[in-house]
Amino acid sequence: MSDRIWPGEWVASRLGVRLPDEGLLTDLVGLAVRRNPRRAHLLVSSVLGKHVPTDPRLVYGAGLALGHLVRGRLGAAAEDAGELLGAALRGGSCAVLRDRLREPVPPVDAIVLGYAETATALGHAVADALGGAHYLHSTRRPVEGFAAYGGFEEEHSHATSHLLLPADIADLDRDVPFVLVDDELSTGQTVLNTIAALHAVRPRRHYVLAALVDMRGPADLARVDELAERLGARIDAVSLAQGSVRLPSDILETGQALVDELSARAPGTEAGEDHEVRRLVLDWPPGLPDGGRHGFSPSDRAQLEKELPRMADAVLAELSDGVSRVHVLGFEELMYAPLRLAEALADALPDTDVRYSTTTRSPVLAVDDPGYAIRTRIVFPSHDDPADGPGERYAYNVTSAFDQIVLVVDGAGDTDALTNGLLARLRGLAPVLAVTVPSYGRPA
């Protein structure tokens, strides 16, 4: 019998949020309280690598596991990763999970869309598992020279506007299965908005919804069936775990009162001595996208796999001597490149505890309790000149328990505001290596 404290107990006891304790669900998520009047609770994933520092091989392996579920739904040969994933979640080998699921498989032609900001790396991992898939993630960052293909709204999100900015619209203008990837399906409204918007531009016969956890209820499922019938399309769904969340009727009021009560004494991350900051501009291959914001093709995937060991070695050479715990911290939508670098570092340093997470726009209450998923938070100003104006950004569960922080940002985010904001906070915790991945732009 495990004596692990579920990092959702604090919220469950105070807000009355209930999840079924069956299957992998409570292994995959904890709970926190949002600073958002539209939605009180937050499902905090233990495998996403957004809010919780996680073994990068578990993060990538979970994404590949979801991708294999998609493969099976598309009629291709697929690995059943349930036992491997369960073992990794409960203390088994994350490397075994990852290695088993990245073995070569026949490619599947599909288009995969990941949702910004949380699912940009998750969607990329799903596309990797399909082999022949073209990948694109939504973005909240307009980029000069790239026209919007479409847009949709995520009503409950802290920042709702999404854009699709493919470098080549022809990559999307095909009637192949379209896979929409998010970390969770709560009501499914975001994916319905997306499918309706995409179908209006280019009708398709088959859509697949893929999420780490699927929390939709009967009414939500009925809306999917209604849309499928109206569009004359097939809409399937896969997830690593399913369940229903039970919420009291007054949760918004109770959650807001809790935020008001605890905000003044919410834990931050105490700064200590002023540590060294080193900088490295990664020798990223010219023409290779830094992620899926403008599309990522099977040939891009092959090039990245070839070049990744060289780039990881460059990061490894800059680490401080004798490190035992390394936190690789990505930057908002830039999740996949930091994830793959962190994964390579974990493989190269078998005696070092390497963890991975990313910064975020999402405001969440921090509570220093083992039954709560967000123990600490760092607040800092935005540093990539966002189109919706300056604002606060956050890094959760980043502490001085790590003796090296590797911050990975793209070129657009490597600014004076980064130096004076987030970097200044991080250097009070541990030595920092700031790694810059050149931002991808349209070739001249």
Question: pLDDT tens string for the chain (444 positions)?
Answer: 356 899 999 999 888 888 988 789 999 999 998 877 777 788 999 999 999 999 999 999 999 999 999 999 999 999 989 999 999 999 999 999 999 999 999 999 999 999 999 999 999 999 999 999 999 999 999 888 888 886 554 444 444 477 899 999 999 999 999 999 999 999 999 899 899 999 999 999 999 999 999 999 999 999 999 999 999 999 999 999 999 888 777 788 877 888 788 776 656 666 667 999 999 999 999 999 999 999 999 999 999 999 999 999 999 999 999 999 999 999 999 999 999 999 999 999 999 999 999 999 999 999 999 999 999 999 999 999 998 899 999 999 999 999 999 999 999 999 999 999 999 999 999 999 999 999 987 554
- DSSP string across 39-107: --EEEEESSSSSSS-B-HHHHHHHHHHHHHHHHHHTTS-----HHHHHHHHTTS-HHHHHHHHTS----
pTM, to two decimals: 0.95
Report the alpha-carbon distance of residue 56 to residue 60 in Å, rounded. Answer: 6
DSSP classification of residue 220: H
| CATH 3.40.50.2020 segments of the chain | 57-242
CB within 8 Å of 194: residues ≥ 6 apart:
113, 152, 180
Report the alpha-carbon distance of residue 73 to residue 207 in Å, rounded. Answer: 10
- pLDDT at position 442 is 55
Taking the CB of residue 249, how many other CB atoms lie within 10 A of it? 8
Q: Can you read off the two tokens belonging to residue 71?
A: 């493969």
Is 369 in contact with 375 (CB distance < 8 Å)? yes
- DSSP string across 370-388: TTSS---EEEEE--S--TT
Report the alpha-carbon distance of residue 94 to residue 105 in Å, rounded. Answer: 20
- pLDDT at position 416 is 97
- SS3 of 248, please? coil
H/E run at residue 28: helix 25-28
- pLDDT at position 96 is 96
Taking the CB of residue 24, how many other CB atoms lie within 10 A of it? 22
Q: What topology is assigned to 277-437 in CATH?
A: Rossmann fold (3.40.50)
The rounded Cα 262 to chain-centroid distance in angstroms is 27
Is 357 in contact with 49 (CB distance < 8 Å)? yes
Is 350 in contact with 385 (CB distance < 8 Å)? no
**Strand boundaries in 215-324, DSSP class E:** 234-242, 277-281
Q: What topology is assigned to 57-242 in CATH?
A: Rossmann fold (3.40.50)
Q: Which residues of 307-332 are buried (b: 16+ CB within 10 A; e: fewer)?
A: eeeebbeebeeebeeebebbbbbbbb
| Nearest C-alpha neighbor of 65 from the set 77, 45, 80, 55 | 80
Query: What number of CA atoms fall less than 13 Å from residue 11's CA on the CB side?
Result: 33
